[in-house]
Amino acid sequence: MGIKVDRLILRHIRMPLVHFFETSFGRTHERDIILVEAIAGEISGWGEVTAGENPFYNEEWTGSVWPLLIDYVAPRVLQHEFASPADVSARTSHIRGHKMAQGGVEAAIWDLQARLANEPLYKAIGGGAHLEIPCGVSIGIQDSVEQLLEKIETEVTAGYQRIKMKIGPGWDVDVVRRVRERFPSIKLMADANSAYTLADLEHLKKLDEFYLMMIEQPLAHDDIIDHAKLQRALETPICLDECIRTPHHAEQAIEMGACRIINIKLGRMGGFTPSKRLHDICRAANIPVWCGGMLESGIGRAHNIALSTLPNFVLPGDVSASKRYWKRDIISPAVEVSAGGTITVPQGPGFGYEIDADYLDSLVVRREMLR
Ligand code: OSB
Ligand code: MG
């Protein structure tokens, strides 16, 4: 059964975060998110564009996504007969970059296809190896070390299986030391979001002492070669995030020894099809993967859950409960995490949660219907 999208509705929504989130590139208090509703006849599929409010994680931001979707992605996708959603990504991949914009539409069409077939999204994408997803949390840079220790305590008590802390110059070795003193046996990792260069090599080596599971993306967002040099000097495994924007980047990083782990983000890769290809490359090379997050609403979160059911997602990801981010989520029920730190994969059609249409409507900043 092929698939044809006859309408796309774009919505820009604004959602306040329960707590600000700080990375080495800045602080976020509220999210501006672009949602994609892909419609065939009476049935809708939903996707989320995971770009941030500013072009600091990658080149995309809420403001770039809107015209990119209207001028370049929608015209290539609307009214086109796809044999399968697996063909959507190839239809837009001539667009340089802007993978998150492309990926939001691609994911909406996978959800649409799953709903048309009345099956769960995870089955449609060929997943299902895990139906309980192991969860970790990502904790931003705090105003004080005490605050960070308190947050970690809360999350460990809630059952989360691993803690990721954001680091950057001035908030690294000494802070990690304090965390390790207080929590000697938790699974701990650090994410630098490209805050360092090879000039910091001796400083970064000091992190080896804290037996971290991995250090995520310490060096430049586009520099696989320097990561290979750093990995040779470190005992701690490097995990690449920003550097891996195509499956081929992973082949190059693995060949060069630039990392031992890869974080897969659905949006960064441009959707399920390239994410699956990346997953398969890593699996064949014995590189474990985990699912990253971009402070998603429930819609992006639900897609991440489906993705995480693929077999090589063997490490706890950054997919955590809705309530850590939102007072109220736009899906129902909210994403919940068990006392053992897992999410049970929902079995309903599509991504398996309902859209809370009234609440969603109340958050809309702008809306556009495309035919
Ligand atoms: O690098 O993983 C990252 C959030 C915004 C931008 C980049 C990153 C992050 C996170 C948050 O770490 C993960 C989450 O959604 O909880
Ligand atoms: Mg990261």
E strand segments, 265-312: 289-291
pLDDT at 151: 97
Give the C-alpha separation, 355 to 199, whole Å: 48
pLDDT at 290: 98
Q: Is residue 359 part of a domain?
A: no
Q: How confident is the model at residue 212 (pLDDT cuts 50, 70, 90)?
A: very high
User: Do 188 and 66 share a structural domain?
Assistant: no
Contact assessment for residue 175 and residue 143, using Cβ atoms and an 8 Å cutoff: no
- Last residue of one domain, picked from the residues 65, 85, 118: 118
Q: Give the ligand 1 atom nearest the CA of 293.
A: 15
Comparing CA positions, the residue from 244, 318, 319, 325 lying closest to residue 281 is 244
Q: Is residue 314 part of a domain?
A: yes
Could you tell me the distance, in angstroms and rounded to a whole number, from the CA of residue 213 to the centre of ligand 1?
17
In this model, does residue 4 exceed pLDDT 90? yes
pLDDT tens sequence across 120-144: 999 999 999 999 999 999 999 999 9
Give the C-alpha separation, 270 to 102, whole Å: 5
Q: Phi first, then psi: what are they for 65, rounded to 5°?
A: -70, -40
Q: Is residue 370 part of a domain?
A: no
Mutating to test ligand 1, I would choose from 160, 303, 318 the residue with most ligand atoms within 8 A of its C-beta, which is 318
Q: Is residue 368 part of a domain?
A: no
309 lines ligand 1 (CB under 6 A): no
Q: How confident is the model at residue 89 (pLDDT cuts 50, 70, 90)?
A: very high
- Last residue of one domain, picked from the residues 118, 141, 160: 118
326 lines ligand 1 (CB under 6 A): no
Could you tell me the distance, in angstroms and rounded to a whole number, from the CA of residue 216 to the centre of ligand 2?
6
89 lines ligand 1 (CB under 6 A): no
Q: Which domain holds residue 331?
A: 124-344
Q: Is residue 369 part of a domain?
A: no
Give the C-alpha separation, 307 to 293, whole Å: 12
In this model, does residue 86 exceed pLDDT 80? yes
pLDDT tens sequence across 316-351: 999 999 999 999 999 999 999 999 999 999 999 999
Give the C-alpha separation, 252 to 96, whole Å: 19
pLDDT at 177: 98
**Pairing, β 289-291 against β 261-264:** parallel
pLDDT at 330: 98
pLDDT tens sequence across 224-237: 999 999 999 999 99
Q: Give the ligand 1 atom nearest the CA of 324.
A: 16
Tell me the CB-side half-sphere exposure of residue 235, using CA atoms within 13 A: 8
318 lines ligand 1 (CB under 6 A): yes
pLDDT tens sequence across 156-211: 999 999 999 999 999 999 999 999 999 999 999 999 999 999 999 999 999 999 99
CATH at residue 178: 3.20.20.120
pLDDT at 211: 98
111 lines ligand 1 (CB under 6 A): no
Q: Is residue 351 part of a domain?
A: no
Q: How confident is the model at residue 214 (pLDDT cuts 50, 70, 90)?
A: very high
Q: Give the ligand 1 atom nearest the CA of 295.
A: 15
In this model, does residue 1 exceed pLDDT 90? no
Q: How confident is the model at residue 288 (pLDDT cuts 50, 70, 90)?
A: very high
Which positions are annotated as active-site residues?
166, 265
Q: How confident is the model at residue 216 (pLDDT cuts 50, 70, 90)?
A: very high
- Per-residue pLDDT averaged across 105-127, rounded? 98
User: Do 131 and 49 share a structural domain?
Assistant: no
pLDDT tens sequence across 230-287: 999 999 999 999 999 999 999 999 999 999 999 999 999 999 999 999 999 999 999 9
Q: Give the ligand 1 atom nearest the CA of 191.
A: 1
138 lines ligand 1 (CB under 6 A): yes
User: Do 234 and 86 share a structural domain?
Assistant: no
pLDDT at 234: 98
User: Do 329 and 186 share a structural domain?
Assistant: yes
Could you tell me the distance, in angstroms and rounded to a whole number, from the CA of residue 166 to the centre of ligand 2?
9
- Per-residue pLDDT averaged across 12-23, rounded? 96
Q: Is residue 354 part of a domain?
A: no
User: Do 250 and 113 share a structural domain?
Assistant: no
Count: domains in the chain: 2
Could you tell me the distance, in angstroms and rounded to a whole number, from the CA of residue 211 to the centre of ligand 1?
22
Q: Give the ligand 1 atom nearest the CA of 325.
A: 16
User: Do 249 and 187 share a structural domain?
Assistant: yes
User: Do 137 and 105 share a structural domain?
Assistant: no
User: Do 209 and 93 share a structural domain?
Assistant: no
Could you tell me the distance, in angstroms and rounded to a whole number, from the CA of residue 41 to the centre of ligand 1?
36
User: Do 307 and 258 share a structural domain?
Assistant: yes
User: Do 253 and 133 share a structural domain?
Assistant: yes
- Last residue of one domain, picked from the residues 97, 118, 139: 118
pLDDT at 263: 98
pLDDT at 143: 95
Q: What stretch of H or E contains 279?
A: helix 272-284
Decide: residue 217, CB within 10 A, 0-12 exposed, 13-18 middle, 19+ buried. Answer: buried
Q: How confident is the model at residue 63 (pLDDT cuts 50, 70, 90)?
A: very high
Ligand nearest to the CA of 218: 2
Output the residue whose Cα is nearest ligand 1's atom 8. 294
* Percent of the chain topping pLDDT 70: 100
Task: Indicate the average pLDDT of the chain.
Answer: 97
Ligand nearest to the CA of 295: 1
Could you tell me the distance, in angstroms and rounded to a whole number, from the CA of residue 243 to the centre of ligand 2?
10
User: Do 128 and 63 share a structural domain?
Assistant: no
Q: Is residue 305 part of a domain?
A: yes
User: Do 141 and 112 share a structural domain?
Assistant: no
CATH at residue 63: 3.30.390.10
Q: How confident is the model at residue 47 (pLDDT cuts 50, 70, 90)?
A: very high
